[in-house]
Structure 1
Amino acid sequence: MRRFTPLLLLFLLGMIACNEDFLDTKPDKKLVVPSTLNDLQSMLDYFDVHNANMVGMGELSSDDYYILYDRWNALRSEYMKNGYIWAREIWEGSTSIDWNNRYQQVFYVNYVLEGLEKMDQTENLIQWNTLKGSALFFRAHAFYQLAQVFCAPFDQSASNEGDGLPLRLSSDLNVHVGRATVKQTYDRILADLLQALALLPESSPYKTRPVKAAAYALLSRVHLTMQDYDNALTYADSALKSNYKLLDYNQLDLTASYPMERYNSEVIFHSRITRYSTLSSSRLIVDSLLFRSYAEEDIRKAAWFRPVGEGYTFRGSYCGSLQIFNGLAIDECYLTKAECLARAGLVSEALSTLNELLATRYESGGFTPLSADTQTEALELILRERRKELLLRAIRWTDLRRLNLNPSTAKTLYRQLNGTIYQLEPNSPNYTLPIADDVIQLSDIPQNIRE
């Protein structure tokens, strides 16, 4: 992978010097003007902007784990404490690193897109197309993540005319951009991804760069979020036809501190969320009912968990470390395909898809294929296995939001701290985080309503 030239690195460091106050900073583009396609590639290869520090507040607020009161009380960041208990007020004067980091990424990709328009694409049409496709993918990925915490859930039965994101499509930070609707936000995400799909290459030596399969997988995830199960199935199928293979968990080294290898054969696109201390392996304890739902023959039970205090913590990240993976992997596509088939009434096909995945997770000879007599039973099985397989992938919060829209799959969440019970009702406005005060003051956009 090409490294930054010193001049370009100076430019980039100038842009990120005040990371949490990024939107207050007006970068001086006169420092350097990228003059080649390789310069623009270097901007898209900046790992900390495009592959790390992804949106994590949804994972922090999800129900797959808990922390003990003394650990919660010792947290230094009030917004982490508040997010954990779904408080009405979250930021208390602090900035939102999730918001600022993703809009920093949007600035980068918009700058690259504008730079491409000034360059002769005929000099290297393949590289020019790859760069444009990558930038559009990254912008869609950024907007999608932001929409999962700062916009109301997309609802197929509603108009989706509520407040969405500021869809910044220019690198000029002096241009005022108001909030689009939720529908317009998802329309932009899909438009960017479809355009990226036509431009991205089939393969890359680096899993930090997007390829066609990544666009297919993200399109499938977005359509599932939108409850558009036909398109979610179509794009999941397309991703499954690519050259990514399920791991045989019998081959894992269970003695390793983190048995899951980074960039393993299932990973289509690598990214990870911000390192919130609430989600550190020394603090989080996996929900006990969830842990007990893994069968003894299920290798994930040994590979993904280790004892901590009164329960078990998580060590199964596809980052191969304590950091939490939120990229795209082929196992998610199996689960999306199975769910969509079940919703279409194709029970046998749905369970066959699910069993193909699960057979790779169990000890050899220890897996009994799952079966169901009805569509309802099949969907319950698949959603249960989805939660188990995609544990701590920064997906659960989005799943809760979409599943809450149907009373049959809605769930009330509970936290208990020092004798106090906190709860989050299905479809509560607190499933949508407030925007940090500094962003509201700077941009004069409307705030999300909480209760």
Structure 2
Amino acid sequence: MTTHKKFLYLSLFCWVLTGCDKDAFLDKKPNTAIIIPSTLPELRSLLDNTQVFTYSPGLGEMGSDDYYMTETNWQALPFVERSSYTWESDLYGSQLNITDWTLPHQQILYANIVLEQLEKNQPTAASKTEWNNIKGSAFFLRGFAMSNLVQHFAAAFDSTSMTTTAGIPIRRNTNVHENVPRSSIKECYDSIFADLIRATSLLSDAVPPIAKNRPSKPAAFAQLARMSIASGQYEKARTYADSCLGLYNYLTDYNTVSTTAVSPFDRSHAETIYFSQAISEYAVLFTTSTTVFADTTLYRSYATNDLRRSIFFRVASGSNMGFKRGYTGTVLPFTGIATDEVWLIRAEALAKTGQWQAGMADLNNLLQKRWRSGTFTPLTAINATDALEKIRVERRKELVWRGHRWPDLKRYNKEGANITLNRKLGSQTYTLLPGANKYIFAIPANEISMSGIIQNPR
């Protein structure tokens, strides 16, 4: 059997497990023709599957306040996109297969297959480096997938309730017969951190110049920094951001980027540390849309000489601005990891830990590469609170349409920001209050019925 056919069978097998009724499927014995990859080239190819490992959930971005729509255009949307926009309790209607939930679980299954096979096939001296790198990649990809699930299907991290608040099920093997209950938020974050820390000891120091879908040590440190800031562990966030930037800290001077191109960046953009994009099921997220408009207040917050104003945005319809293609080079939003985010994480962490002047220096280092040459005046702050506010304003402007706004809103409101979102459609106004249950997406109904895990209240 050719390697191609092996992976085809495996893909069909995993698709059945994640997308269909597992109980009905498991009543039948799997086809003996299904062969699990075992050699290093096969395991590497499994993790290189860009149809599986380069996508992240899109529900959060659709629920964010980065964009708006007219009532007419909203009414033409499919059910999930329409209900996401107005934060409905019934988010999915009759739709059962929700890719935002199933795809990260497929990624976890693939990573678990690789980790189990590696333990059965110990390396030779000649293959040790590749064996380590594949193992580190599997740990990273499992941690990345779990991070996405936690940020979409669980509450914001709260140190006072982390041991009692439900997170997501933690799967650490390929046993599909096992019904895994939901673990606590603390257990989920502990598991994510453990995977990513293991990855840092196994992965290469170098960021691939072309194959950005392959994890690296800087990517693992960056994801550790991202999840540290999500959980309010600012000292750790600074340390991990330091570790990442010590290995890879490149920032693009936007004066060298076309302000008129539809696609200012490509898939191998030099700032990208790890490539991922939003799932392709939601047309609302397409940067080619002529019916999705950038939030007016947000767009106007960019100064005339801020090059991001023309590099990130385009005219969508009339006077309404839409989004250009970002670091993916495709019509889908970038949801991976890039150095600009890491600089902002370190800046915020410094501001939160008493080193706000250093945080402002990090922020200005980024911004001087975003403004037209000779026009940027470094930002100043009078205290830590002022610095934090300025850093978070620029974080939103820098990371717009990249999947960050939703988890940021969750953590800001957990800290007391009291940000209320409003949508207006015709005469109807829809409101999302700070800390509302609707910030936590419902687990698909078929998963609830098959596994018996508890549902998120909405």
1:21 Cα shift? 1.6
Q: Decide whether the 8 Å contact of 1:250 with 1:364 is kept in 2.
A: yes
Cα distance in 2 for partners of 1:44, 1:389 equals 30
Range moving further from structure 2, 158-167 or 430-439? 158-167
Instruction: Report if aligned partners of 1:22, 1:100 keep a CA contact under 8 Å in 2.
Output: no
Distance 2:389 2:32 in 1: 53
Q: Does 1:173 align with 2:176?
A: yes
State how 1:178-327 maps to structure 2 within 5 Å.
178-203=181-206, 204-205=208-209, 206-275=211-280, 276-281=282-287, 282=289, 283-309=291-317, 310-327=319-336
> Using a 3 Å threshold, how does the CA distance of structure 1 residues 251 and 400 change in structure 2: closer, same or farther?
same
Q: What CA distance in whole angstroms lies between the structure 1 residues aligned with 2:137 and 2:100?
A: 21
Hey, what does 1:387 align to over in structure 2?
396
- Are 2:262 and 2:325, in contact at CA under 8 Å, matched by a contact in 1? no
State the shift of 1:183 in Å. Answer: 0.8
TM-score under structure 1 length normalisation: 0.95
Structure 2 unaligned residues grouped into runs of 5+? none
Give the superposition deviation at 1:157: 3.6
Whole-angstrom distance in 1 between the partners of 2:21 and 2:49: 19
Unaligned runs of 5+ in 1: none
Residues 61 and 404, structure 2, Cα contact 8 Å, conserved in 1: yes
> How much does 1:239 deviate?
1.0
Structure 2 CA distance for aligned equivalents of residues 5 and 71 of structure 1: 46
Bigger mean CA deviation after superposition, 275-284 or 28-37: 28-37
- After superposition, residues 22-41 of structure 1 pair within 5 angstroms as 22=20, 24=22, 28=31, 30-41=33-44
Q: Taking structure 1 as reference, are residues 243 and 370 closer, same or farther at Cα in structure 2, changes over 3 Å only? A: same
Alpha-carbon shift at residue 287 of structure 1 (Å): 0.6
Deviation at 1:13, TM superposition (A): 3.5
Cα-to-partner distance string for 1:281-326 (whole Å, 9 max, x where unaligned): 3132111000000000011111111112241001041011221110
Compute the TM-score of the two structures, normalised by the length of structure 2. 0.93
Look up the match of 2:152. 149
Aligned to 1:107: 109
Give, in whole Å, the separation in 2 of the partners of 1:401 and 1:17: 32
Q: 1:46 is matched with which residue: 29, 46, 49?
A: 49
Asked if 2 retains the 8 angstrom alpha-carbon contact of 1:7 and 1:32, the reply is: no
CA distance in 2, matches of 1:242, 1:113: 26
The residue matched to 1:227 in structure 2 has which SS? coil
Query: How far off is 1:33 after superposition?
Result: 3.2
- Secondary structure of the residue aligned to 2:414 is coil
Query: Residue 87 in 1 paired to residue 88 in 2?
Result: yes
Q: Is the 8 A contact 1:136 1:196 kept in 2?
A: yes
The one-letter code sitting in structure 2 at the alignment partner of 1:334 is: W
RMSD: 1.7
The sequence identity of aligned pairs, in percent, is 38
1:432 matches 2:430: no
**Residue 7 of structure 1: how far off its partner (Å):** 2.7
Inter-partner Cα distance in structure 2 for 1:420 and 1:128: 57
Q: Aligned AA for 2:374?
A: G
- Checking the alignment, whether the CA contact within 8 Å between 2:162 and 2:184 is kept in structure 1 is no
CA distance in 1, matches of 2:167, 2:32: 29
Residues in 2 aligned to 1:384 and 1:361: alpha-carbon distance in whole angstroms: 15
Task: Quote the Cα distance in structure 1 between the aligned partners of 2:420 and 2:261.
Answer: 36
| Aligned counterparts of 2:3 and 2:277: Cα–Cα separation in 1 | 25
How far residue 330 of structure 1 moved from its aligned partner, in angstroms, is 0.4
From 135, 143, 151, give the equivalent of 1:140.
143
Give the one of 373, 392, 409 matched to 1:400: 409
**Quick one: distance in 2 between partners of 1:101 and 1:435?**
13
* SS of equivalent residue, structure 1 residue 376: helix
**Would the aligned equivalents of 2:158 and 2:231 in 1 still touch at CA under 8 Å?**
yes
Distance 2:32 2:106 in 1: 15
CA distance in 1, matches of 2:192, 2:33: 31
- Single out whichever of 345-354 and 325-334 deviates more from structure 2: 345-354
Residues 16 and 22, structure 1, Cα contact 8 Å, conserved in 2: no
Superposed CA deviations along residues 39-79 of structure 1, whole A, max 9, x for unmatched, are 11111010011112x11111110111112111111012x12
Q: Which of 429, 444, 448 is equivalent to 2:452?
A: 444
